[in-house]
Amino acid sequence: MSPVDPASASASEPRRGSSLRIPLLHLRVGVMNELQYRANFAVQLLQTFVQVATGLIALALIFDHTTDLNGWTRPQLIVVLGMYNVVGGMIGFAIEPNMGRLMADVRLGTFDYVLTKPVDAQLLASAREFRLWRLTDVAVGIGVTIWGVVQLDDGLSLGRLVGFVAATTVGIVLVYCIWLVVTTGAFWIVRMDMVQDLFTGMYRAGQYPVTVYPAWLRLTMTYLVPVGFAVTVPAESLTGRLTWERVVLTVVFLVVALGVTRLVWRLGTKHYAGASA
Amino acid sequence: MPSDAAVITTGLRKVFRVPVREAGLAAATRSLVRREHRDVVAVGGVDLRIEPGEVVGFLGPNGAGKTTTLKMLSGLLHPTSGTVRVLGHEPFRRERDYLRRMTLVMGNRNQLQWDLPALDSFELSRAIYRLPEDLFLRQRDELIDLLDLGALVDKPVRNLSLGERMKAEIANSLLHRPEILFLDEPTLGLDVTMQRRIRSFLADYNRRHGASVMLTTHYMADVEALCKRVIVIHHGAILFDGALTDLSEQFAAHKTLVVTLERPTDPSSWSRYGDVVASTPTRATLRVGREATAAVVASILSDHDVRDLTVEDPPIDEVIELAFASAEAPS
């Protein structure tokens, strides 16, 4: 072998460490990046308040004419609106920036650097860009959710709260899965920007429970976007509307989505040929 | 064949399937419905063997197959056929043990965090390669020292010049002290001083750590300074593989003689020795057939009172051009 010195030999023996270390360091880098642009924080805060205010005004208008919307009461819909902001904030904080970066990397050929690192490429590509200020959506969304919950007639039990936290986590993971599968299309098609826009547009419809929409739209929103799983199911668990069938379906859907996402990712990276030859 | 070579490939081949269509709106519309493809052979059966510690210049015009070969060696592309082993691994499997021992640097593509100091990106690399802190600090500081980065690593990368950024990129790519370096035009677009700085660093790094280096570049000065061995690739096939000095032997049919005389002579008399490139009564630059060089030198020395005489191979980029031209010429 080459006269490689002992230091390099030890470099090839990895230190034991958690795979979470890399996403956490990227999060730190993301926070440091965003802290340089304080103006973004003000703009984001304004945007969040405008969004929440228009949502609440729309609800007020609806309940001027009726006392329930397809079985949903006003406080329950406030919970849905709050959850819509929480999940939207999480998407904007962690999912959307990473998917955007992935598409740009594939287009520019810098995805080469992801594939030549000795870490799981899917993990690296999914958790390296974070937009800190989008957490304002999460914070305001939590506030709105709590405000809705305290107005609920039947209050909130511990069971419902646990179910809610689990459902929210599962919902966000599902959104990530579907979004990554679609973004992985960039390995074949290269330009996928319009898909991102389509997602954002469809997600906007999630500020009302998916059950208020006609069947075809409800199915699209539940399984394709899947804002139904991410917003409506957590809201259902908080408001005591969640059924056991729904829980089982959600878990099955999660397992299938995780498996399919991994498979599509593997196929995509295998297909990837770089932007230049 | 002994398998302790850094790189071994046999019949390495990569064929891309690319869509084709004619120009114009009608053709563009037709291609929406029915796409036609054709196969493009980017690398057509390459045999390579690179020993540990070797620095090899990988040369060829644009589209010759250099980058495709580097991508197959670094695990980014699956070969269409043939075998490839780098440091005992099949690169396309992208085993972590392999990825920890190699690095890929592309001159025109950044991986440092744009808005943050390079030191923060170095920390990320440390986590990715799982380097223990003491080893990381030692290797980081050595690279900062060798690349003269001390004053630059704590400035945001966006405030660095292109050359300074490239130095930081190189340091970031070498923190885990790879045993093999794939460098794709690392000096692209840099000024002459910065090119020289990076060249001397790479030579130094290779000497210190015995790493193998495979370098593609369009700057012949890089090749002359770093590579004892060059591989010339053209249309996906190897045209030449050997010592840089042998490249001239094989492709340059001429040598250049520069003669300075003690006393003036009739400038028109130079043409009997060879093609006159430039001449004055006391000095001439001549192009002489390689085979005839010794005889011409002997007769100039006997005919004139010579103050100085040098015999040179043509510049290396001219030789490379001759090599490409010989490949294009009908046999």
Q: Please provide the DSSP assignment of A154-187 as one string.
A: T---HHHHHHHHHHHHHHHHHHHHHHHHHHHTHH
Residue B97 confidence class, pLDDT cut points 50, 70, 90: very high
- What is the arithmetic mean of pLDDT over A252-269? 92
Report if residue B318 sits inside a domain.
Answer: no
- Does residue B305 come out as left (phi exceeding 0), alpha (psi in the -120 to 50 range) or beta? beta
Predicted local distance difference test score (pLDDT) of residue A7: 42
Predicted local distance difference test score (pLDDT) of residue A18: 61
Report if residue A9 sits inside a domain.
Answer: no
The number of domains in chain B is 2
- What is the arithmetic mean of pLDDT over A255-276? 84
Predicted local distance difference test score (pLDDT) of residue B99: 96
Query: What is the residue range of B193's domain?
Result: 7-248
Is B151 in the same domain as B19? yes
Question: Rounded to whole angstroms, how far apart are CA atoms A11 and B135?
Answer: 8
Predicted local distance difference test score (pLDDT) of residue B11: 95
Residue B100 confidence class, pLDDT cut points 50, 70, 90: very high
Predicted local distance difference test score (pLDDT) of residue B169: 94
**What three-state secondary structure class fits A142?**
helix
Report if residue B27 sits inside a domain.
Answer: yes
Residue A273 confidence class, pLDDT cut points 50, 70, 90: low
For an interface test with B, give the residue of A15, A38, A266, A269 to mutate (most B CBs within 10 A).
A15
Nearest chain A residue to B68 by CA distance is A277
- What is the arithmetic mean of pLDDT over A265-272? 87
- What is the arithmetic mean of pLDDT over A82-106? 90
Question: Rounded to whole angstroms, how far apart are CA atoms B289 and B134?
Answer: 59
Report if residue B190 sits inside a domain.
Answer: yes
Instruction: For A199-230, write each residue's pLDDT tens digit.
Output: 777 777 777 777 777 878 777 777 776 777 78
Instruction: For A120-162, write each residue's pLDDT tens digit.
Output: 999 999 999 998 888 888 998 899 889 888 888 777 788 888 8
Buried b (16+ CB within 10 A) or exposed e, B77-110: bbbbebebbbbebebbebeeebbbbbbbbbbebb
For an interface test with B, give the residue of A24, A36, A117, A119 to mutate (most B CBs within 10 A).
A117
Residue B116 confidence class, pLDDT cut points 50, 70, 90: confident
Residue A5 confidence class, pLDDT cut points 50, 70, 90: very low
Residue B69 confidence class, pLDDT cut points 50, 70, 90: very high
Instruction: For A33-84, write each residue's pLDDT tens digit.
Output: 888 777 877 888 888 888 878 878 877 787 777 777 777 888 888 888 888 8
Predicted local distance difference test score (pLDDT) of residue A20: 79
Identify which of A91, A20, A184, A277 has the alpha carbon closest to the alpha carbon of residue B63: A277
More confident of the two residues A14 and A217: A217
Query: Domain boundary residue among B248, B280, B300?
Result: B248
Residue B8 CB-half CA count within 13 A: 11
Q: How far is CA B7 from the centre of its chain?
A: 16
pLDDT, averaged across chain A: 80
Instruction: For B252-310, write each residue's pLDDT tens digit.
Output: 888 889 999 998 988 888 888 999 988 888 999 999 988 899 999 999 999 999 999 99
Q: Say yes or no for a CB contact (<8 Å) between A25 and B63.
A: no
| Distance linking the first and last C-alpha atoms of chain A | 31
Of B100, B102, B106, the CB nearest to A112: B106
Predicted local distance difference test score (pLDDT) of residue A3: 42
Is B164 in the same domain as B301? no
Q: Are A264 and A182 in contact (CB under 8 A)?
A: no
pLDDT, averaged across chain B: 89
The number of domains in chain A is 1
Predicted local distance difference test score (pLDDT) of residue A133: 84
pLDDT(A12) > 70: no
Q: Say yes or no for a CB contact (<8 Å) between B96 and A119.
A: yes
Instruction: For B142-154, write each residue's pLDDT tens digit.
Output: 999 989 999 999 9
Is B219 in the same domain as B206? yes
- What is the arithmetic mean of pLDDT over B115-135? 93
Q: Are B215 and B183 in contact (CB under 8 A)?
A: yes
Give me the residues of B, 110-139, that contact A with CB < 8 A. Answer: 110-111, 113, 115-116, 120, 123-124, 127-132, 135, 138-139
Is B95 in the same domain as B191? yes
CA angle B17, B18, B19 (to 5 degrees): 130
Burial class, B221, CB count within 10 angstroms (exposed 0-12 / middle 13-18 / buried 19+): middle
Is B223 in the same domain as B283? no
Predicted local distance difference test score (pLDDT) of residue B46: 93
A117 touches chain B (CB under 8 A): yes
- What is the arithmetic mean of pLDDT over B24-48? 84
- A chain contacts of residue B17, beta-carbon cutoff 8 Å: none
Report if residue B136 sits inside a domain.
Answer: yes
What is the distance in angstroms between the Cα of B150 and the nearest Cα belonging to chain A?
A: 21
Report if residue B111 sits inside a domain.
Answer: yes
pLDDT(B124) > 50: yes
Q: Give the predicted TM-score (pTM) of the model.
A: 0.81
Cα separations in angstroms, A159 against A166, A231, B284: 11, 18, 97
Report if residue B330 sits inside a domain.
Answer: no
Residue A15 confidence class, pLDDT cut points 50, 70, 90: very low
Token pair for A53: 């205010």
More confident of the two residues B319 and B42: B42
Is B135 in the same domain as B268? no
B19 touches chain A (CB under 8 A): no
Report if residue A94 sits inside a domain.
Answer: yes
pLDDT(B53) > 50: yes
Report if residue B320 sits inside a domain.
Answer: no
Query: Domain boundary residue among B248, B273, B291?
Result: B248
Give the amino acid at A222: T
Buried b (16+ CB within 10 A) or exposed e, A167-203: bbebbbbbbbbbbbbbbbbbbeeeebeebbeebeebb
Range with lowest mean pLDDT among A144-153, A168-177, A221-230, B78-87: A221-230
Please report, rounded to a whole number, the percentage of residues in chain A having pLDDT higher than 90. Answer: 17
Question: Rounded to whole angstroms, how far apart are CA atoms B172 and B147?
Answer: 11
Predicted local distance difference test score (pLDDT) of residue A203: 75
Instruction: For B9-31, write each residue's pLDDT tens digit.
Output: 999 999 988 877 777 888 777 77
Predicted local distance difference test score (pLDDT) of residue A34: 80
- B chain contacts of residue A4, beta-carbon cutoff 8 Å: 52, 179, 209-211
In the sheet where B283-289 sits, what is the strand order?
A: B275-280, B283-289, B254-261, B306-312
Residue B324 confidence class, pLDDT cut points 50, 70, 90: confident
Is B222 in the same domain as B261? no
Q: Which of A104-113, A178-187, B178-187 has the highest mean pLDDT?
A: B178-187
Query: What is the residue range of A149's domain?
Result: 20-271
Predicted local distance difference test score (pLDDT) of residue A124: 92
ipTM of the modeled complex:
0.81
Of A3, A11, A32, the CB nearest to B177: A11
Report if residue B325 sits inside a domain.
Answer: no
Is B88 in the same domain as B128? yes
Report if residue A277 sits inside a domain.
Answer: no
Please report, rounded to a whole number, the percentage of residues in chain B having pLDDT higher than 90. Answer: 58
Predicted local distance difference test score (pLDDT) of residue A17: 53
- What is the arithmetic mean of pLDDT over B183-195? 88
Is B72 in the same domain as B41? yes
A243 touches chain B (CB under 8 A): no
Is B230 in the same domain as B266? no
Q: Are B72 and B236 in contact (CB under 8 A)?
A: no
For residue B116, the domain's CATH number is: 3.40.50.300
